């Protein structure tokens, strides 16, 4: 190959990679999930993903936001160790819908699509995906059903010690 | 740097550390128990799941195996796991000890006879005021299983427990607010304290201080406890971490972990069961257990359990629209744990961080025994009149009749398909005479004169379906050997 042609192709390839990276980084820039709540444990991007996932796992945007807020507050006071692991898990989930040139994010998907994606992780052949689904599901449900307001529907009469 | 000097330093206040503290302090030794978890008492136990898991459990109940498949539950508070356990008292069977004598080099165990082991277990039981659960104390959840098993001709019976004055609230796993459950928090640590022992809580031991082949104390952030003897009783996940950080690293350290993974099964009845009230785990199926000198502990057992709304909701992997109607039937649910003893196969690996990697995958044999256990549980519930039986695993259909039992053959074996817990981790600092052991038959860490291990990490294989009394018995034998 002629040197000038080789240089042209390699410059072009470099440009392509740089453009894709920029596109990916821009596309995945942090979302501010809820302007009324600045997360304390998680970074804003991770928090946005958490709210979206909890919304689906609890089948209610209001419940999702509230449970996410509680988990974030717990992480801020007690869970420094767990923040890094959870953040990584949330990043994987957030980036799951897209491909190389596709910058769709989990937290910005239409609800049905997000639900299908998250539910597919429950039975995924990829172990890490099952692990993330299971951890998020358990956390969301544990937090939600630990609230006295949720007990009425179950007929649970609550603690004996007051 | 805060420094305390005593004769005996004990790390951990659970089944091992708590019993040892009482023995040594009452023998006139000056003792300091160093406990990572907070000092708690019945006044702290508010019967709320979230708050209590945070207060009492290691990682708020989220200590997981590496692949997230098994939640390894351990107490992290004064009294250790005995503060959060179910109070069942099941001494080690003689055949398990024979197994260790014949296959793990325990031989005559320095003259400790089967009778000595039995006497040590009896002492542990007596100290806790343990006795059998009366049939009339069985709650409906336990009675349903007992009735169903009887109809099928399967043998089981009420277990023994360490409750005295139990009011049947059902919250044993998040701390007994009535001091009825007599773990070390109630039965041993007050005795130790009365005899002058110091209980130093919220202090995490980082390492053992060594001077050649002698331990001279332990250290953590901002403190040191110096002593003539050091006893590690931090449990089978954390004792190997302390040794590792102290640069005491025999080849077998952290290996041979058994977890006895357990999985839940849930049945729905037409009438109210209220499985969350009364004494949980009060009845056990016996006929399915196999205990031989050749293989040790095998087979499986079934025990009814209690779970609060948060735990119940978190364990069932249904999408929310399908979960809601099931939870609306909460008071009609019965539930049991299928407990399948395993072989030593896992490993605890400590790196630089504060949390270990627990490397463990249930074996194929464990999986097939788990299927058998679940089928037996389902048959028992159906015989007791259940409308449906549910294994909380993704993709396993409901069982509503004997015909459906074959659904359970589809029980998935991949991590995170079925929620599994371990309440009985054991092994990791195996005791025995060989190079492949961390601790010698005299409880001393190989190569050290005065550094001992006194917890569930000693066992070469699974000791019992319930590990509290075997640990306590071992520690009594250790204390006997020290002449206290
Ligand atoms: C939920 C649950 C239910 C159970 N039910 C039963 C039952 O019904 N019957 C039965 O026989 N057994 C039961 N068990 C098991 C039994 O309680 C344990 O096997 C037993 O308590 C183990 O004793 P141990 O001394 O090895 O450890 P633990 O009792 O766990 O005590 C270890 C202590 O060491 C402390 N520690 C750890 N690391 C450090 C450190 N670095 N520095 C200072 N302190 C440290 C911990 O905080 C803890 O307090 C149950 C366990 C659980 C978790
Ligand atoms: S059931 Fe008994 S032992 Fe358990 S928490 Fe209630 S009173 Fe305590």
Tokens matching residue B202: 């919220």
Q: d(Cα B271, Cα B329) in Å, to the nearest integer?
A: 10
Question: B453 CB contacts (<8 Å, ≥6 apart)?
Answer: B231, B232, B233, B239, B429, B431, B438, B439, B443, B445
Fold type of domain B2-60+74-127+175-255+426-481: FAD/NAD(P)-binding domain (3.50.50)
Give B59's contacts in chain A (Cβ within 8 Å): 81-82
> Of the candidates B236, B183, B234, which has an alpha carbon nearest to the alpha carbon of residue B425?
B236
pLDDT tens-digit series, residues B349-364: 998 888 999 999 999 9
pLDDT at A23: 47
pTM for the structure as a whole: 0.94
- Exposed, middle or buried, B349 (CB in 10 Å: 0-12/13-18/19+)? middle
B34 lines ligand 1 (CB under 6 A): yes
Pick from B48, B308, B354: which is nearest to A81 by CB?
B354
Say which DSSP state B332 is in: G
B82 lines ligand 1 (CB under 6 A): yes
**Residue B319 to chain A, least CA–CA distance (Å):** 7
> Of the candidates B258, B309, B255, B305, which has an alpha carbon nearest to the alpha carbon of residue B280?
B305
Asked whether the predicted pLDDT for residue B200 surpasses 70, the reply is yes
CA dihedral (B93, B97, B102, B106) in degrees, to 10, reads: 180
Tokens matching residue B283: 């009845």
Pick from A79, A137, A154: which is nearest to B309 by CB?
A154
Q: Which atom of ligand 1 is nearest to the CA of B464?
A: 11
Asked whether the predicted pLDDT for residue A139 surpasses 80, the reply is yes
| ipTM value > 0.90 | yes
Mutation pick for ligand 2 pocket among B82, B85, B159, B168 (CB with most ligand atoms within 8 Å): B168
Asked whether the predicted pLDDT for residue A90 surpasses 90, the reply is yes
Residue B168: strand, helix, or coil: coil
Pick from B47, B317, B395: which is nearest to A137 by CB?
B317
The residue with greater pLDDT, A11 or A92, is A92
Buried b (16+ CB within 10 A) or exposed e, B43-54: ebbebbbbebbb
List chain B domain ranges: 2-60+74-127+175-255+426-481, 132-161+262-341+362-414
pLDDT tens-digit series, residues B107-157: 999 999 999 999 999 999 999 999 999 999 999 999 999 999 999 999 999
pLDDT at A103: 75
Mutation pick for ligand 1 pocket among B14, B307, B429 (CB with most ligand atoms within 8 Å): B14
Residue A32's pLDDT band, with cuts at 50, 70 and 90, is very low
Cα B182 to ligand 1 centre (Å): 14
pLDDT at A9: 60
Please check whether residue B68 touches A, CB under 8 A: yes
Residue whose CA is at the smallest distance from ligand 2 atom 4:
B172
Cβ–Cβ below 8 Å for A82 and B177: no
Mutation pick for ligand 1 pocket among B234, B236, B454, B469 (CB with most ligand atoms within 8 Å): B234
pLDDT tens-digit series, residues B233-272: 999 999 999 999 999 999 999 999 999 999 999 999 999 9
- Please check whether residue B145 is in contact with residue B304, taking contact to mean a CB–CB distance below 8 angstroms: yes
Please check whether residue A130 touches B, CB under 8 A: yes
Asked whether the predicted pLDDT for residue A14 surpasses 70, the reply is no
Residue A80's pLDDT band, with cuts at 50, 70 and 90, is confident
- Interval B458-478 mean pLDDT: 97
B467 lines ligand 1 (CB under 6 A): yes
Report the chain B residue with the minimal C-alpha distance to residue A74: B54
- Exposed, middle or buried, B155 (CB in 10 Å: 0-12/13-18/19+)? exposed
Question: B277 CB contacts (<8 Å, ≥6 apart)?
Answer: B139, B168, B169, B170, B306
Q: What is the DSSP string of A137-161?
A: HHHHHHHHHTSHHHHGGGT----S-
Please check whether residue B324 touches A, CB under 8 A: yes
Neighbours of B66 (CB within 10 A): 17
Asked whether the predicted pLDDT for residue A26 surpasses 50, the reply is no
Give B311's contacts in chain A (Cβ within 8 Å): 142
φ, ψ for residue B268, nearest 5 deg: -115, 130
CB contacts < 8 A (A, B): 104
Cα B110 to ligand 1 centre (Å): 27
pLDDT at A38: 79
Cα B10 to ligand 1 centre (Å): 14
B242 lines ligand 1 (CB under 6 A): yes
- Mean residue pLDDT across chain A: 84
Q: Do domains B2-60+74-127+175-255+426-481 and B132-161+262-341+362-414 have the same CATH topology?
A: no
Tokens matching residue B254: 């952290």
- Please check whether residue B419 is in contact with residue B317, taking contact to mean a CB–CB distance below 8 angstroms: yes
Give A58's contacts in chain B (Cβ within 8 Å): 320
Fold type of domain B132-161+262-341+362-414: Cholesterol Oxidase; domain 2 (3.30.410)
B280 lines ligand 1 (CB under 6 A): no
Please check whether residue A67 touches B, CB under 8 A: no
| Max Cα distance, chain A (Å) | 85
pLDDT tens-digit series, residues B377-429: 999 999 999 999 999 998 899 999 999 999 999 999 999 999 999 999 999 99
Please check whether residue B54 touches A, CB under 8 A: yes
Give A155's contacts in chain B (Cβ within 8 Å): 328, 330-331
> Of the candidates B434, B422, B425, B433, which has an alpha carbon nearest to the alpha carbon of residue B461?
B425
Give A80's contacts in chain B (Cβ within 8 Å): none
Give A160's contacts in chain B (Cβ within 8 Å): 47, 167, 169, 171, 177
Cβ–Cβ below 8 Å for B319 and A150: no
Cβ–Cβ below 8 Å for A135 and B309: no
């Amino acid at each position: 190959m002629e040197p000038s042609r080789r240089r042209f192709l390699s410059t072009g390839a470099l440009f392509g990679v740089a453009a894709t990276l920029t596109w990916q980084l821009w596309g995945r820039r942090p979302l501010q999930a809820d302007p009324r709540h600045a997360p304390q444990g998680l970074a804003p991007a991770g928090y946005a993903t958490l709210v979206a996932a909890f919304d689906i796992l609890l089948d209610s945007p209001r419940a999702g936001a509230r449970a996410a807020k509680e988990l974030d507050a717990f992480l801020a006071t007690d869970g420094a160790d767990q923040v890094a692991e959870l953040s990584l898990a949330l990043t994987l989930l957030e980036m799951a819908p897209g491909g190389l040139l596709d910058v769709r994010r989990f937290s910005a998907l239409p609800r049905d699509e997000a639900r299908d994606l998250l539910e597919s992780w429950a039975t995924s052949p990829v172990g890490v995906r099952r692990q993330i689904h299971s951890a998020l599901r358990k956390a969301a449900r544990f937090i939600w059903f630990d609230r006295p307001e949720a007990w009425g529907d179950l007929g649970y009469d609550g603690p004996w010690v007051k | 740097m805060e420094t305390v000097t005593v004769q005996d330093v004990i790390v951990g206040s659970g089944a091992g550390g708590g019993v040892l503290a009482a023995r040594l302090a009452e023998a006139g030794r000056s003792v300091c128990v160093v406990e990572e978890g907070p000092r708690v008492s019945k006044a702290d136990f508010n019967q709320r799941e979230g708050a209590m898991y945070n207060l009492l459990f290691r990682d708020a109940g989220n200590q997981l195996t590496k692949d997230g498949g098994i939640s390894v539950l351990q107490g992290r508070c004064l009294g250790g796991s005995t503060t959060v356990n179910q109070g069942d008292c099941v001494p080690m069977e003689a055949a398990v000890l024979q197994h260790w004598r014949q296959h793990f080099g325990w031989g005559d165990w320095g003259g400790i006879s089967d009778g000595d082991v039995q006497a040590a277990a009896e002492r542990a039981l007596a100290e806790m005021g343990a006795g059998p659960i009366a049939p009339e104390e069985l709650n409906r959840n336990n009675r349903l299983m007992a009735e169903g098993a009887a109809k099928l001709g399967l043998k089981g019976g009420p277990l023994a427990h360490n409750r005295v004055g139990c009011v049947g609230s059902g919250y044993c796993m998040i701390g007994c607010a009535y001091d009825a459950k007599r773990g070390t928090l109630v039965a041993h640590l007050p005795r130790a304290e009365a005899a002058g022992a110091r209980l130093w809580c919220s202090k995490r031991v980082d390492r053992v201080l060594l001077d050649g082949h002698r331990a001279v104390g332990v250290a953590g952030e901002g403190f040191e406890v110096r002593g003539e003897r050091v006893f590690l009783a931090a449990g089978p996940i954390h004792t190997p971490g302390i040794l590792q950080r102290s640069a005491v690293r025999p080849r077998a350290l952290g290996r041979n972990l058994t977890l006895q993974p357990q999985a839940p099964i849930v049945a729905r009845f037409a009438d109210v069961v209220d499985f969350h009230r009364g004494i949980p785990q009060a009845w056990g199926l016996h006929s399915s257990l196999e205990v031989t000198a050749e293989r040790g502990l095998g087979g499986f057992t079934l025990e009814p359990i209690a779970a609060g709304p948060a735990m119940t909701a978190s364990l069932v992997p249904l999408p929310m629209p399908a979960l809601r109607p099931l939870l609306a039937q909460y008071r009609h649910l019965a539930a049991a744990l299928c407990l399948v003893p395993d072989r030593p196969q896992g490993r605890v690996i400590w790196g630089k961080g504060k949390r270990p990697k627990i490397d463990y995958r249930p074996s194929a044999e464990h999986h097939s025994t788990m299927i058998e256990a679940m089928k037996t549980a389902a048959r028992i519930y159906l015989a007791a009149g259940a409308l449906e039986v549910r294994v909380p695993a993704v993709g396993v259909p409901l069982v509503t009749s004997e015909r459906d039992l074959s659904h359970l053959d589809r029980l998935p074996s991949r991590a995170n398909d079925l929620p599994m817990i371990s309440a009985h981790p054991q092994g990791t600092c195996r005791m025995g005479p060989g190079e492949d052991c961390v601790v010698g038959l005299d409880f001393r860490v190989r190569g050290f004169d005065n550094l001992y291990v006194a917890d569930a990490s000693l066992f070469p294989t699974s000791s019992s379906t319930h590990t509290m009394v075997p640990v306590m018995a071992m520690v009594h034998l250790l204390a006997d050997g020290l002449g206290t």
